[in-house]
Amino acid sequence: MPLIDVQAERCSPDIVLPSYEDVSAPTDAVGVRPLLPVVGANLRVPLVTGQETTYANLDYAASAPCLEEVAAHLTEVLPYYASVHRGAGYASQVSTSLYENARAQVAAFVGARADDVVVFTRNTTDALNLLAHCVPTDGAGERAGDVLFLDIEHHANLLPWQRGRHRYVVAGTTQRATLVALRAELAARPAALLAITGASNVTGEVLPLTEIVALAHEAGARVVLDAAQLAPHRRIDLAATGVDYVAFSGHKVYAPLGSGVLVGRRDWLDEAPAYLPGGGAVREVTLTGTTWASAPQRHEGGTPNVLGAAALARACLVLADLPEGALEEHEEALRNRLASRLDALAGVRLHQIWRDSPSAIGVVAFTVEGYEPGFVAAYLSAEHGIGVRDGKFCAHPLLSRLGAQAGTLRASVGVGTTLSDVDRLADAVERLLSVGPRWEYARVEGRWSPVGDPRTAPAWAGASLGSAGGASPCESGTIR
């Protein structure tokens, strides 16, 4: 059945919102309480009905909220903030120590080898573009070998490789068939690098990383892991798995401020031209030539994001300090509850890539029959105070193969999520299917919004709700 535009009569009825606090469950039961405290856990948001409710954040996969411990750390170090390196002042010395210590903490978080390099970037996209810049080239400036990737990748792990020699493998309907296809492609023609996602940003499914690394190395290819979604949910160990490079973002691991990182083998990073030529990336400059610094400084030109690096490192420390298996157990309880409840609703379809996926992080992709994903997301926000993501998630080829040309909805959980949050989502979808929306909605600049939305943003936000721009070109464009 095609997805249709839906409108309901605009109204503002008296309605009592249910309480989702499960007082009957033991307080130490998995998923009943947050695993870690996050900033904004008790945020109150307005509804179109004129009421307020506690925000249910089920959009962790886009940007995770800041951990309270990370926020406290930033408050502690902010008075010492100064430009790093070459400064004799006390604050500069402290900031330099903070920045370089953050490098060591991130290295420990991903199980880096002794000679691996940690380069701070803006985000995962920036880190992968940096590595694309470092893949060895031939005498003509072309890549000396292909970069190979799957058709399920986020655009950040697809577009950087398209600028040079590359090819892709269509993932099979099972993970086993996908591994067979990867091995055959690597055997047929050598590749310099295999770029692989750790966990799908659309469905959350996790790939068998150790097996993939082994077959790539057998064929003489290095492996880069896009861990934007994996790092917040699973332990990563470069030394144990043999992964050559890993990239992830601070805003996915509960650290704000626009930080990211690339960690991996030194040789490619030392031999490549500076990624961002400028101050800090050099040893000596004359008017006729430059002697570049070694990595990581070689690729960190300009004044670095000291607080972003500090936040990222502290978030890594907090996550690493969780008991073994606690994060997986917490998220599995939440994901299983949400998936089972949604799957029980006639008209809801859950999406997955492989029939034999053994595990997944806390992400569930679904569609609701008769409703566009953007409409459902607007309804959940306006009438229930629930935040989810809708669209194509910067993974157009994957959405195409899933048969979801209009996109899907994505609910994602994390350390601050509880069972009551996922129950709120399931109940709200069930209500939509049984009685429909209680408000009128229309498209505004490509996005669904409540008609005459009475909600307002805080004055400091600088704009009313929905007035700061419409749909992203990435979400509104046609999949080809």
Give the residue numbers marked as catalytic: 394
Contact (CB, 8 A) for 367 and 351: yes
Rg (CA), the chain: 23
- Copy the structure tokens of residue 39: 């900033």
